[in-house]
Amino acid sequence: MAHATVCLTADFDAVSPWLHAFDGDSPVNCSRGRFGADVGAPRLLDLFERHDVPATWFIPGHTIDSFPEPCERIVDDGHEVAHHGWSHTRPSDYESREDERADIVRGIESIEGLTGSAPEGYRSPSWDFSAHTVSLLSELGFEWSSSGMAREFEPYELTEEVAPHDGPYEVGDPVGITEVPVSWQRDDYPALAFSGNRAFSDEAAVFDHWRRQFDWMYEHVDGGIYVMTVHPQVIGRAPRTGMLGELIEHAAGKPGVEFARVGDMV
């Protein structure tokens, strides 16, 4: 087992989240998603190719059905494709279990059309679960999820949970799905995407923060998993893919570090 594993993950949302944006699905908002598909994703794929590292791409069915070309290259380049909803609807926004189930099933069908097989992994849009998500993932045969935050650098068992407002919180029984935790601290979106109310981030400070997190894990956690989440429409803007390349080189330069697709690591 590697002393440290890096899982590079790309949430290829393209236009899908803009259909639910607080300020609307305007053509300009949608153009940010088009940038991700037309420019950001190819730049990211070029970067991964140059460094010869595998990645896991979480692709909403809406992206697969709207922008088939970059999605086909993702498969051709040997990356893993995992589920990220069809419509990129935040799970707790569904009115019923049936509505959420239908969107997940539609997303599975889009991925089957792209790769020829059903996805093993799921990442929820907006890193949110509804009261039904865990049971739906179990019912639909997912093997792993990458949406939770109960650990920092170690996978854990996904469980049904009960969180009443008038009683103690209970961790339920494992459902047979491995959770590979994410972190808002290692996500380019909150750090680097303009959302109408945030000042421009110091890019160098953000990448330094990510490097220091890797170094901390490397020093303190044997067998740690460093999950990095990027969005083609955010990380694909100049000069960020170059800075991500430096982070990849930094991690790859240490002994005992492997880069793995999430499914292979699970």
Residues that bind Zn ion (CB under 5 A): 11, 13
Which CB atom, from 11 or from 188, has the smaller least distance to Zn ion?
11
Name residue 98's beta-bridge partners.
Answer: none
Those residues with Cβ within 8 angstroms of residue 33's Cβ, 6 or more apart along the chain or in another chain: 13, 14, 15, 16, 17, 18, 233
Which CB atom, from 13 or from 103, has the smaller least distance to Zn ion?
13
Beta carbons of 99 and 58 less than 8 angstroms apart? no
Radius of gyration of the chain (CA): 18
Q: In the complex, what is the shortest distance from the CB of residue 133 to Zn ion, in angstroms, rounded to a whole number?
A: 15
Tokens matching residue 217 = 């894990």
Q: In the complex, what is the shortest distance from the CB of residue 255 to Zn ion, in angstroms, rounded to a whole number?
A: 34
Which CB atom, from 11 or from 179, has the smaller least distance to Zn ion?
11
Q: In the complex, what is the shortest distance from the CB of residue 144 to Zn ion, in angstroms, rounded to a whole number?
A: 17
Which CB atom, from 107 or from 224, has the smaller least distance to Zn ion?
107
Q: Which amino acid is at 95?
A: E
Q: In the complex, what is the shortest distance from the CB of residue 32 to Zn ion, in angstroms, rounded to a whole number?
A: 13
Q: Which amino acid is at 76?
A: D
41-51 and 68-76 are packed helices; what angle lies between their axes, rounded to 10 degrees? 10
Q: In the complex, what is the shortest distance from the CB of residue 57 to Zn ion, in angstroms, rounded to a whole number?
A: 11
Which CB atom, from 11 or from 100, has the smaller least distance to Zn ion?
11
